[in-house]
Amino acid sequence: MNRPEKSVTIGEYLDAKGISRRSFLKFCTINASLMALPPGTGQVMAAQLRAMKRPSVIYLSFQECTGCLESLSRSFSPSVESLIFDVISLDYDDTLMAAAGHQAEQARENAMRENWGKYVIVVDGSVPTANGGVYCTAAGKTAEAILTETAEGAAAIVAVGTCSSYGGLPKASPNPTGALPVSKIITDKPVINIPGCPPIAEVITGTLLHFLTLGVPDLDAHGRPTAFYGNAIHDRCYRRPFYDQGKFAKSFDDAGARSGWCLYELGCKGPLTYNACATVKWNDGISFPIESGHGCLGCSEPDFWDKGGFYQPIPEATFTDTEKIALAAAAGAALGAGSAVLSRWRRKKKLAEAAAGEEAS
Ligand code: SF4
Ligand code: SF4
Ligand code: F3S
């Protein structure tokens, strides 16, 4: 590339890196299909992205464990998802960037000045507010001051992980640092929550792509994209037929567990947890907690650390009336309904992948 990297379009950047149009189209089509967007949207996304310059992204890490960034950077593995790092210009990330100290702060300030009104902030971690916010500082500024200052010129904020979406572990009782989620501090900009401890890489990538091409996606009452958080894990779980038959494992090593029976009585929070784990799954679609033999902990829900024992069955009293009606209706549904929905979804994904291949050829 002869021109400076920042002045070229994403298309020119990809061409210079030897990334084929076909791979990029496949990337966009798979993401569009994961979000259940209408056929052809992947092509529109690909064309729009190729024509635009790489958007500036400032990644801020506060009270967090780096698990969320670890999840996102897993997409550095040679998979189609790694393309997200070619689509965005990650101008500041104090965990990944080579610069430190004044140079790092300069990078953040430059990105803000050069992209005022257009850059996206990705935040992981909660923001401490007790005792003047002294529990998390960088370059002599509190996390709250850095967030407020950086948000001023941002187009939107993406809160990645349950810590930044709802406070997460740092906010668990007794919340010694006065931890708050991003949405309680920034109230004058769109804040998109992508909860999960950590969230699935494809969910982060898909949400970013949606924002860059189609704007803020539809969000539920907890600020999560409905495309990924619109269904309870329970509604897509492959163990659901056993739930419907009343076949529950009583311990993690009994015959029921070995036969793949439902983990409800071992504390699975799938019925009250909204996330894409049972469909998108983890590590390139290999598995998800329930498939690996452990119940869902409810990690994408607000206050999940304070909701009672991870290994206690959900007390019926905690179900809302709507949830009780939904569960009762589901329990009465035809046997195998859960697995039928799942296989329909998998078929749809396979068709989308095949279509992506054809569109690209
Ligand atoms: Fe770590 Fe979980 Fe918080 Fe992400 S949401 S920073 S994985 S504790
Ligand atoms: Fe799956 Fe858990 Fe629901 Fe059982 S309770 S069907 S293991 S989500
Ligand atoms: Fe979290 Fe439950 Fe998925 S614990 S990773 S939402 S299966």
pLDDT, tens digit only, all 361 positions of the chain: 556 677 899 999 999 999 999 999 999 999 999 999 999 999 999 999 999 999 999 999 999 999 999 888 765 444 555 677 889 999 999 888 889 999 999 999 999 999 999 999 999 999 999 999 999 999 999 999 999 999 999 999 999 999 999 999 999 999 999 999 999 999 999 999 999 999 999 899 999 999 999 999 999 999 999 999 999 999 999 999 999 999 999 999 999 999 999 999 999 999 999 999 999 999 888 999 999 999 999 999 999 999 878 999 987 666 666 556 555 655 554 334 444 434 444 444 455 455 555 544 4
Residues 108 and 213 in one domain: yes
Residues 218 and 238 in one domain: no
Task: End-to-end CA distance of the chain: give it in Å, rounded.
Answer: 26
Residue of 66, 68, 123, 275 to test ligand 1 pocket, by largest number of atoms within 8 Å of CB: 68
Range of the domain at 130: 54-227
Q: What is the tally of structural domains in the chain?
A: 2
Using the 3D structure, point to which of 211, 227, 243 is the last residue of a domain: 227
Residues 205 and 238 in one domain: no
Work out which ligand 2 atom sits closest to the CA atom of 290: 7
Q: Fill in the DSSP letter of residue 88.
A: S
Q: Look at residue 19 and tell me if it is in a domain.
A: no
Residues 128 and 147 in one domain: yes
Residue of 74, 266, 277, 290 to test ligand 3 pocket, by largest number of atoms within 8 Å of CB: 277
CA distance 317 to 324: 10
Q: Look at residue 21 and tell me if it is in a domain.
A: no
- CA 313 to ligand 2 centroid distance, Å: 11
Q: What is the pTM of this model?
A: 0.87
Q: Look at residue 110 and tell me if it is in a domain.
A: yes
Q: Look at residue 88 and tell me if it is in a domain.
A: yes
Q: Look at residue 142 and tell me if it is in a domain.
A: yes
Q: Look at residue 260 and tell me if it is in a domain.
A: yes
* CATH number of residue 306's parent domain: 4.10.480.10
* CATH number of residue 122's parent domain: 3.40.50.700
User: Any alpha helices (H) in 183-263, and if so which ranges?
Assistant: 201-214, 226-229, 233-236, 240-245, 255-258
Residues 109 and 144 in one domain: yes
Residues 187 and 171 in one domain: yes
DSSP-based three-state secondary structure for 219:
strand
- CA 174 to ligand 1 centroid distance, Å: 18
